[in-house]
Amino acid sequence: MTLEFGVSLPTCVEGMAYPIRFADHTGIARVAAEAERLGYDSVLVNDHLSTMPYVRAGFDEPPRFYEPLVTLSYLAARTSTIRLMTGVVVVPMRDPVLLAKQASVVDQLSGGRLTVGVGVGAYRAEFESVRPDLAAAPRGDLVAEGLEALRLLFEERVASYEGRYFRFHDVEMYPKPAQAPLPLYSSGNAPGTLRRAARLCDGWMPAGLPVDRLAAGVRTLREHAEANGRDPGALAVAPQMVLCLGDDAADAVARFRRSQVYEHLVSLRNTTLKGIDIDAYVSENLIGDPATVTDRIAALAGAGAGHLAGMIVVANTVDEMLDQMERFAAEVAPAFKGRP
């Protein structure tokens, strides 16, 4: 059983998944370089343009949010082989022509190592702050239009698009991405995310789903792909999970519950993780001793996962994060690398 593994970098998550202050751009580059050295397949960056009210209320100083495509261009020059991913770019907050240009240039600068995960974004309040003129627009519709527009810009010499929300005319955008096609992943757990993945994308990137819900989602994804005349087996399944290794289960759970990651997940129960029970979430994620985590990964692979992209490593310092990454690479990942 061969599986790919990736780490979520601390780019737009201070005050959410990690404390303030956690890592500046040099710390982010340090984690990316170490991930490559340890044999991880990918690193992933998040996307926030504004700070959520609960973060402002919980901390005296603001977090540092590093724009994802700019950050990946910085990391492209400091790594050689590791895949660079977004998880996610929030399309409703972005102009598709500029996003296409940024992604194309990063793919060129990295030698064809970019995968663009797109989604609606975790927080409607952030979207309404950044794009008040579009506040009434369904974010799923904005993502669908954005994906259609990106495909045109990536694949046609001169592109025009006339959607309800996004419009552009006679755009000749070069250079194109180094990859043809540039991989696009539809990110999220909602039914619309699966439909967009099957119609417009190269993969599906859910977040924190239990094994049974992941398996059901994979079945639905493949049904939608067939209905759209696409090969179901060609679509990647790359779930994002929380990683917290301990010497035993109690140690791992205690570390998790003391972390900022835990506080962040609590905040998402009314948005992207709607309806998720936190205790059940602990039992379904990669939280435990290495043997337990290995078993859970095997179950995820059996449900259809091929790449654990952007694992959120529980840590309160960069050094602690690197220790967790090294332990995973030594004690868990070898079970899934190169074994028939």
Instruction: Give me 9's structure tokens.
Output: 């970098």
**Helix (H), strand (E), coil (C) string for 316-338:** CCHHHHHHHHHHHHHHCHHHHCC
What is the identity of the amino acid at 181?
P
Half-sphere exposure of 204 (CA within 13 A, CB side): 34
Note the pLDDT tens digit of each residue in 106-146.
999 999 999 999 999 988 999 999 999 999 999 999 999 99
The answer to whether 88 and 47 are in contact (CB under 8 A) is yes
pLDDT value for 136 = 96
Backbone angles phi, psi at 48, to 5 degrees: -140, 140
Which long-range contacts does 272-275 make (Cβ < 8 Å, 24+ apart)? Answer: 272/122, 272/188, 272/189, 272/207, 273/189, 273/207, 273/208
pTM for the model stands at 0.94
Note the pLDDT tens digit of each residue in 58-99.
889 999 999 999 999 999 999 999 999 999 999 999 999 999
Q: How many domains does the chain have?
A: 1
What is the identity of the amino acid at 62?
P
Note the pLDDT tens digit of each residue in 266-299.
766 665 556 667 677 788 899 999 999 999 999 9
Q: What is the three-class DSSP state of 44?
A: strand
For residue 25, what are the domain limits? Answer: 4-336
C-alpha distances (whole Å) from 254 to each of 140, 236, 237, 288, 326 are 37, 33, 30, 10, 20
- CATH, residue 182: 3.20.20.30
